[in-house]
Amino acid sequence: MFILPTRRGMVFVALIALVVLIAFVYNNNLAYMLGFLMASIFFVTILHSFKSLSGLVIRPSHHPPVFAGDKAMFNFVLHNPGDQQRVAIEMRLQEAVPISLQAGETRSVSLPAATKKRGWLDCSTLTLSSCYPLGLFRAWSPLRFDSRVLVYPYPAKLDLPFPETAAGQGRQGQSKRGGDEFYGLKSYQSGDPIRQIHWKAYAKGRGLHSKQYAGSASLEFWLDYDETPGGDVEGRLSQLCRWVVDAERAGLRYGLLLPGVKLSPDCGIAHSQACLRELALFGLAR
């Protein structure tokens, strides 16, 4: 733990020196008493600044994954085992979060961190600090935790239809249509009903597409990296991420094909998280 005077503390020191100097020049006992009283307050504040952080227990908690561009949340559990209240405590990663703890209280604290790219985001140095009680000193302790957040690729904004077929034996998706459940989009073909045209996509300049609907029977298709449109690796992963999110939201069964990775068709949160994890770590160190 480190303790140093703040700017206010340095001004307080200068004021003490000025009062003692006045007492010396005019030989004024009251000025001497005031100067020594201020000096005693200054030094006693060091002890209280130390005790404001001493003994606190902090441990990392679960850090949920996020999509690139969203705020990652590093979660910690802070416990005050002592019998005194802790106030004016500040926890900081990239942004400061003020907290106070009652005697014996345990609290969960979430600290945000910006994300820019997919993969693992390591927890930077966590700083626990306090300027209690008078703001004359700042006590702080830098903490390092072996914690990280998984960052998924950013879902593509382009609303492309799900792939209808994929290369390879046993990878062709079922083509059951005509039910009530929304399945996806396909390029408009002459003869498609006008009521099924996706006018929002057309208004955004994405071309003319028709909505596809499926019956209650589960649909199954593959999301193949090699068949995914995109100008580069990140563009393809972004589109695959969008398809995984949309397919899971629609309750469809889907499989994922990446170079060296094959996840059989399934649905559910566990399957979607497994697919998103593979997309997040594709080509990166695991």
Q: Is the pLDDT of residue 156 over 50?
A: yes
Q: What mean pLDDT is reported for the chain?
A: 85
How confident is the model over 77-127, as pLDDT tens digits?
999 998 989 999 999 998 999 999 999 999 999 999 999 999 999 999 999
Given a cut of 70, whether residue 172 has pLDDT beyond it is no
Asked whether residue 279 carries a pLDDT value surpassing 90, the answer given is yes
Task: Give the residue-averaged pLDDT of 207-235.
Answer: 75
Residues 6-56: tens digit of each pLDDT: 999 999 999 999 999 999 999 999 999 999 999 999 999 999 999 999 999
pLDDT band at 67 (very low <50, low <70, confident <90, very high): very high
For residue 114, list its beta bridge partners. 71
pLDDT of 220 above 90: no
Q: Own/partner pairs for 276-279, CB < 8 Å, 24+ apart?
A: 276/65, 276/152, 276/153, 276/241, 276/244, 277/65, 277/150, 277/152, 279/118, 279/152, 279/153, 279/237, 279/240, 279/241, 279/244
- The answer on pLDDT for 134 being more than 80 is yes
Q: Is 126 helix (H, G, I), strand (E, B) or coil?
A: strand
Tokens in use for 132?
Answer: 């209690």
pTM: 0.74
Higher pLDDT among residues 111 and 210, named by residue: 111
Could you identify the residue written with the tokens 């994954």?
65
Does residue 212 carry a pLDDT above 90? no
190 vs 159, more confident: 159
In angstroms, the CA 161 to CA 240 distance is: 11
Which of the four pLDDT bands, split at 50, 70 and 90, describes residue 250? confident
Among 26-35, 77-86, 212-221, 273-282, whose mean pLDDT is lowest? 212-221
Quote the pLDDT of residue 81: 93
